[in-house]
Structure 1
């Protein structure tokens, strides 16, 4: 059962919007290799504002993701691509519906 999540807000530097979009698109491959990350979304809110929402069964799974390949790659590229450090929020999932269209 999914009970834990993360929401990460990313603000691209001017001129780096496509680099952030490309990074997030490529991030799907990295998160697909994480057995304990069953839910992952890369989001675009505006031309410069992006986000990631991912969810986990346990707190240990959430913590493992925070030190996994995707998180490490993001932090390694943050100074180059982002106007400010990623804003990471831990979230408790109260209820969830997951049904493919």
Structure 2
């Protein structure tokens, strides 16, 4: 069972909302190339508020993702696109269901 996750809330700078959304969409091929990332979601929580939620089977997969291209690109663009630096929450998954 997938037990490890990341939750990263992101607040776009005013006027940068579309750029943040485009950045998140552009990350899909990079994430798909990561064997340890089991699922990855880019979420729009409300006007200007976004988040990333992703899951991993083990800590090695989670750490590989944190050291990967998406995280590097996000940090490189953070000052330009986001009101505050990304806060990365390492969380555990208690239960899950898939159909």
TM-score clears 0.5: yes
Corresponding position: 1:10 with 2:10: yes
Q: Spell out, residue by residue over 1:5-55, the C-alpha distance to the aligned partner (whole angstroms, 9 max, x if none).
A: 000000000110000000001111110111110110000011110000000
User: How many residues end up aligned between the 2 structures?
Assistant: 99
Unpaired segments of 5 or more residues in structure 1? none
Unpaired segments of 5 or more residues in structure 2? none
Under a length normalisation based on structure 2, what TM-score does the superposition of the two structures give?
0.97
In the alignment, which residue of structure 1 is the partner of 2:27?
27
Structure 2 counterpart SS, 1:45: strand
Under a length normalisation based on structure 1, what TM-score does the superposition of the two structures give?
0.95
Distance in 2 between the 1:40 and 1:68 partners?
14
| Mapping 1:1-101, distance limit 5 Å | 1-99=1-99
Q: In angstroms, what is the RMSD of aligned CA positions?
A: 0.7
